[in-house]
Amino acid sequence: MICLFKIYLLYFIMDSFFLVMSSLPPTCKDDISPGLYSCTNTTKCGVRVHQSANTFIIDGKHAQLESWPWLVSVKFIGVDMCGGTIVDKNWIVTAAHCFDSIYMRDPRNWTIAIGKYHKYCTDTTERQLQVEKILMHPDYVKRTNENDIALLKLSQAIDYNCRVRPICLPMGPQHLLIGEKCWIAGWGMTLGHGNDDIVNEVMVPIINPILCKSSDFYGRRFHPDVMVCAGYRNGGKDACNGDSGGPLICQRNGVWTLSGITSWGLGCGQPQQPGVYTMVGHYATWLHKTMKAHNDIIIG
């Protein structure tokens, strides 16, 4: 996943600066705005209107309109580059590797698409918000993908509704159970296993970190103190290019929590090479302190 992402990123840097930035995707034919303000408690984190009907991401299913209201697209000069997650009205959590190149670190070039469902057209519910600050974890290591987490501060507050609302952040280290069923979602490549024009979702179980650190899997590349492995031993269901920075979402006591951030992997959906996710609970203190320091709002 990460190897392919970096090739894609290099190609993008070389070619995409020549895009005409004033041109926007066409408006989607389907008006998905009805019911946008029909729900209550939109400020409560980790709650959604619709539950998923099925268990492309690779070999996943189309998500329902309001399945993942905290999912956003992180755009570089107007082009979808990564996924991200709403955690507060002014804050998005994503992966630090989305900003690997020094040329990618000017916040003026980045926007966030909220209320988005389709990739190749502009939804009636979609809004573009400007990024004000890019705050990568100070200990991010590009070579090993350790501490692959970043915060994006927005220049204006998000207006919550039924399809745009925050996920809950762990308040501290989170113990994920082996086999626990979590979800990933995004607009990344499907490699012929579906349509990437609509946000896709797939359930991925947590894999034993001992297995992921074994020589049959990732060996020393995997750091179980800051990373989470999720997916299937035989492959087939996985995140892929374009899903980087998006959420690994786990449900606790009926509330959805940001447990991981799509970080890296070798290929997409390959046997014994499951997706690797940044362990968000490990960074709970850094996340809360950083957000408070930059806007004096206590995130709870």
Domain ranges of the chain: 181-281
Catalytic entry in 67, 73, 244, 263 = 244
Q: Hey, what are 195's tokens?
A: 């349509």
Q: Rounded distance, CA 102 to CA 83, Å?
A: 19
How does pLDDT run across 253-296, given as a tens digit for each residue? 889 999 999 999 876 766 678 899 999 999 999 999 999 999 75
Q: Rounded distance, CA 151 to CA 162, Å?
A: 24
Catalytic entry in 62, 97, 193, 223 = 97
Q: Please give the span between the terminal C-alpha atoms of the chain, in angstroms, as a whole number.
A: 33
The domain made up of 181-281 has a fold known as: Thrombin, subunit H (2.40.10)
Burial of 127 (0-12, 13-18, 19+ CB in 10 A): middle
Residue of 135, 146, 145 lying closest to 3 (CA atoms) = 145
The answer to whether 148 is a known catalytic residue is yes
- The β-bridge partners of 122 are 27
Residue 91 has pLDDT above 90, yes or no: yes
Q: Rounded distance, CA 268 to CA 252, Å?
A: 28
Catalytic entry in 88, 123, 148, 238 = 148
How does pLDDT run across 166-202, given as a tens digit for each residue? 999 999 888 899 999 999 988 876 544 555 678 888 8
Stated pTM of the model: 0.86
